[in-house]
Amino acid sequence: MEGKAYTPDEVAQIFQISKHTVYELIKRGELQAFKIGNKMRIEQAELERYKENTKAPVKKNVPEPLPINPASSIRLSGSHDFLVEHFTKQAARALNLQIQPSYIGSLEGLMMLYRGQCDIAAIHLLDPTSQEYNLPFIHQLFVYESILVLRLAAREQGLIVAGGNPKKIQDFHDLTRKDVQFINRQKGAGTRFLLDSKLSSNGIEPRQINGYDTEEWNHLSAASYISRGMADVTFGIQSAASHLGLDFIPVAQENFDLVFRFTPENKQSLTELIEYLQSDNFRNSLTDLEGYSIQELGKITYQTRKTEETTC
């Protein structure tokens, strides 16, 4: 191979951006990468191509564009989900908002919200002690902030296998078989939290599972390993299995929530987004709901007193 190949960490240092942004560029296809085993690499020529494509064009007597109003630009970070994708697209169109999603996993999304680096976090984090979703983490992190938590949906999580289930996989104990290859989600993903909780309750050690350390960053990427015959099973949502025509073995239903953090700058935009998510127009736009329950769509599951005052 000609030229040097860089790791995502090295690319992040070169461009002075976060490693998660590099992975997001790769997922969107803006930066081409390849894998050696389970390690990601980007070639020098690809970095040069990306830099050329992102250079600002030379101005030719054109008027300056209007500046973007920060209040109309909303940053969403957290777990990847098809309903979240649908919501951001529909809301941006209906409300004329600029919504910037970044699918980096539930835990990192919540931490970005805590650090004030985004406005909304999309999360499904199971607390192994209480077996409660999301709120135990929110209570620990957000004490003085203005926070509101809305239920988006309940989702089916389970084992995703090839059509016809050729390896006859039935439960978590089958993951320890020598003839079974697993593909995992990255650390910090809500799906990884749930998987590890289930493994622990079944007395299964990660080292017993072939492929436990092989990670992908979203449900479709993990499930595509199964559809391409590169692995036998992954743990993920039913809708990902349905998208790729794979079989699904249900294990648990989880709560998927959106966490809104209000500031003086984003108050109006977040209020409009919440009203839209709770509207009949948005509910009626949801058609492909296999693996989801939207019975509690738009339900407020938690808000701070400061938020109650802010949104009145």
- pLDDT reported for residue 252: 97
Identify which has the larger pLDDT, 55 or 137.
137
Mean pLDDT, the chain, whole residue set = 88
Backbone angles phi, psi at 247, to 5 degrees: -85, 155
Note whether 212 and 186 are within 8 A (CB). Answer: no
CATH architecture group of domain 157-253: 3-Layer(aba) Sandwich (3.40)
- pLDDT reported for residue 21: 74
Note whether 80 and 27 are within 8 A (CB). Answer: no
CA atoms 196, 197, 199, 200: torsion sign = positive
Integer angstrom CA distances of residue 254 from 19, 190, 196, 240, 292: 28, 10, 14, 15, 10
Encode pLDDT of 242-298 as tens digits.
999 999 999 999 999 999 999 999 999 999 999 999 999 999 999 989 999 999 999
Q: Is the pLDDT of residue 67 over 70?
A: no
Neighbours of 215 (CB within 10 A): 16
- pLDDT reported for residue 46: 76
- pLDDT reported for residue 309: 59
Instruction: State the pTM of this model.
Output: 0.78
For residue 196, give both structure tokens.
Answer: 């590890």
Separation CA 141–CA 164 (nearest Å): 44
Identify which has the larger pLDDT, 304 or 9.
304
Closest C-alpha among 32, 25, 70 to residue 49: 32
Please give the CATH topology (third level) of the domain spanning 70-153+255-311: D-Maltodextrin-Binding Protein; domain 2 (3.40.190)
Encode pLDDT of 81-135 as tens digits.
999 999 999 999 999 999 999 989 999 999 999 999 999 999 999 999 999 999 9
Note whether 257 and 150 are within 8 A (CB). Answer: yes
- pLDDT reported for residue 69: 46
- pLDDT reported for residue 44: 80
- 22-26, 45-49, 222-226 — which one is most confidently predicted on average? 222-226
Q: What percent of the chain has pLDDT over 70?
A: 87
Q: Is the pLDDT of residue 60 over 70?
A: no
Encode pLDDT of 178-199 as tens digits.
999 999 999 999 999 999 999 9
Helices 106-114, 190-201: crossing angle, 10 deg rounding: 130
Identify which has the larger pLDDT, 89 or 6.
89
Q: Is the pLDDT of residue 18 over 80?
A: no
Note whether 101 and 225 are within 8 A (CB). Answer: no
Residue 10 binned pLDDT confidence (cut-offs 50, 70, 90): confident
Separation CA 207–CA 76 (nearest Å): 34
Encode pLDDT of 231-258 as tens digits.
999 999 999 999 999 999 999 999 999 9
